[in-house]
Amino acid sequence: MYSSSSVSKFVILIHVFAMQLLLINSELLLNTTNAYLNHKCVVSKGKYKPGSAYEKQLNLTIKNFYSDSGNKEGFTLLGGDGFSAILQCRGDSYGPKCRDCYATAVAGLSRRCPLYKARIIWYDQCLVSFDTAYSTGQIDYDNIFCMSNAKKVGERDRPAFISTTNNFMDNLTILATRVHNNQEFAPLYAVGKTRFKGDMLYGMVQCTKDIPDKACEECLVFNSIHFQECLTAKRGARFMGRSCTYRFEFYPFIAKQIQNI
Ligand SMILES: *[C@@H]1O[C@H](CO)[C@@H](O)[C@H](O)[C@H]1NC(C)=O
Ligand SMILES: *[C@@H]1O[C@H](CO)[C@@H](O)[C@H](O)[C@H]1NC(C)=O
Ligand SMILES: *[C@@H]1O[C@H](CO)[C@@H](O)[C@H](O)[C@H]1NC(C)=O
């Protein structure tokens, strides 16, 4: 004979077990790695001296940005004469996730580009840039790069795949750069998915929030042409820049894409 209490314990145990499975599963799926991607120490802009006014300004900015980095925008900007700074987190990384990425990025920068006045670092979930000039508000065409899966889709599928990815990119760009209902600004961020043959293809575009929507579109179009070789027919690729980024993969890499499955 089972008492009702042991039955409910059994039920609770199953419940807990199911929850754990769910958690493990979503962790695997979420794939929320925050991989280091790239950095640039801008040698031409020189180094600052320890104890200098530049270092003081930098330290203050780093501290202020840290307080701001947990905001729901996932974006912080300082544009000044002789000094500018930007933190842009990926659209699904705001709050604590953005702050974590920011802390990692600042540590990464001081290790990889010690004392450089101008430097940029990219991670999966954020980019951080410090510069000597007022470099925000305009498209940065210099600090860009592209990474892609070494594998291409099968030769027979290529024409259809290229047409799908081009179309997908255009759709995401439109979504990111148009002002939607009741919104004041274009989101400058869009995620989506589309089917290719039997597989699901996941995509994302994003621009840093210091540039207007027209510039966002220009940045995305420029880079997709510039990096055509790197992007075309690949089983996953992305370009990144100081101003905009595009990525597509055959697996979900954004929290929202997983929720939608
Ligand atoms: C997680 O991401 C890596 C590359 O960033 C990819 O190779 C891997 O397949 C992904 N795993 C899942 C479960 O999506
Ligand atoms: C800036 O911060 C670094 C690291 O915390 C510290 O070593 C340095 O003395 C600080 N400089 C100034 C001018 O406050
Ligand atoms: C692009 O958007 C159009 C119109 O909404 C849609 O019909 C098409 O399937 C989309 N294509 C891709 C690849 O996302």
**Which DSSP string corresponds to 32-71?**
----EEEEEE-GGG-BPPTTSHHHHHHHHHHHHHHHHTTS
Q: How confident is the model at residue 203 (pLDDT cuts 50, 70, 90)?
A: very high
Q: Round the average pLDDT of the chain to a whole number and report it.
A: 88
Q: Give residue 251 CA to ligand 1 midpoint distance, Å.
A: 7
CATH 3.30.430.20 corresponds to the domain 144-249 = yes
* 182-196: pLDDT as tens digits: 888 999 999 999 999
Atom of ligand 2 nearest to the CA of 51: 13
Above pLDDT 90, what percent of the chain?
A: 76
Q: How confident is the model at residue 92 (pLDDT cuts 50, 70, 90)?
A: very high
Supply the residue whose CA is at minimum distance from atom 9 of ligand 3. 194
Q: What is the best residue among 48, 57, 58, 59 to mutate for testing ligand 2's pocket, by most ligand atoms within 8 Å of CB?
A: 59
pTM score > 0.85 for this model? Answer: no
Looking at residue 136, what is its pLDDT?
77
Residues of the chain with CATH 3.30.430.20: 36-131, 144-249
Picking from 29-33, 70-74, 121-125, 152-156, which range would have the lowest pLDDT averaged per residue? 29-33
Looking at residue 251, what is its pLDDT?
93
What is the CB < 6 Å shell around ligand 1? 28-29, 31, 33, 251
Atom of ligand 2 nearest to the CA of 52: 13
CATH code that applies to domain 36-131: 3.30.430.20
**Whole-angstrom Cα distance, residue 69 to residue 61?**
12
State the first-to-last Cα distance of the chain, in angstroms, to the nearest integer: 42
**Whole-angstrom Cα distance, residue 154 to residue 235?**
10
